[in-house]
Amino acid sequence: MKMHGAGNDFVVIDSRERGAVTTSALAAALGDRHRGVGFDQLAEITGSDSADFELTFWNSDGSLAGACGNASRCVADHVMTTLGRDRITFKTERGILAAVRRADGLVAVNMGQPILDWQSVPLARETDLLHLPISGDPAAVGMGNPHCVFFVDDAEAVDLVGRGPSIEHHPLFPAATNVEFASVTGPDRIRMRVWERGAGVTLACGSGACAVAVAANLRGLTGRSVTLDLDGGVLEIDWREDGVWMAGPTARVFDGALPAEFVAAHT
């Protein structure tokens, strides 16, 4: 399936009946927007003994993503529709997470509690996560993947292509990092733009939106419930006692079948 959440687009492979098929080479081939399908991330669904299904995420460069909030919401929407339910659980690297369909039709997913210790983000050395020793005074938050959050006067004016790559591979982040630029535009409202690790500029990033909301709250800029305006749409973040919940739109664009020859050539 090709799906997107607020313009953050995905290929979703349903492997519950046959077992996982995705390799780094297959993910990179499918991620090529000229010779494959094209996506920000790929999500593969497999069976699980402890939840309704399990998800594995890949970036368009063939690297593992660790977490992907918008893809989680899209897949949850698909599975809830096929099962005729409004609540499901799924397993990721972060453990067992929950997703629900709200009364307004939006799909919300619990992304778990933020990671706020330097070793687990991970960072290369111990430092103040809310004030990293990087020009621009960013904060670090882990959401199953690392995030470097900059609060700026005008997110619209940031050159993502010019600044993103060097921060993604900053030596303070040994596993590289997603990079967010955020401006507080009103009471509990934030404008956010993102450079994603392994993908580049994307229209939205669910885990990044969660990281920005957490960092904004910890810095005293907003409350724990915020609305984020991204290039591709709007996401709602609510940091509760049981985790960081994210809600937003989902869309299923088309279904397709990969030729066996294409899969065999990249596995």
Q: What is the residue-wise DSSP string for 14-25?
A: E-TTT-----HH
Fold of 2-103+250-265: Diaminopimelate Epimerase; Chain A, domain 1 (3.10.310)
Topology agreement, domain 2-103+250-265 and domain 139-241: yes
The 10s digit of each residue's pLDDT in 22-79 is 999 999 999 999 999 999 999 999 999 999 999 999 999 999 998 999 999 999 999 9
CATH class of 139-241: alpha beta
Q: What angle do CA 81, 29, 147 make, to 5 degrees?
A: 70
Mean pLDDT, all residues of the chain: 96
Question: In 3-state terms, the chain is what percent helix, strand and coil (to 5)?
Answer: 20, 35, 45
What is the torsional sign of CA 81, 55, 21, 57?
positive
CB 194 within 8 A of CB 149: no
Catalytic positions are 68, 205
b/e for 178-208, b at 16 or more Cβ within 10 A? bbbbbbbeeebebbbbbbbbbbbebbbbbbb
Which residue ranges make up each domain of the chain?
A: 2-103+250-265, 139-241
The 10s digit of each residue's pLDDT in 150-185 is 999 999 999 999 999 999 999 999 999 999 999 999
pLDDT over 90 percentage in the chain: 97
- pTM of this structure: 0.93
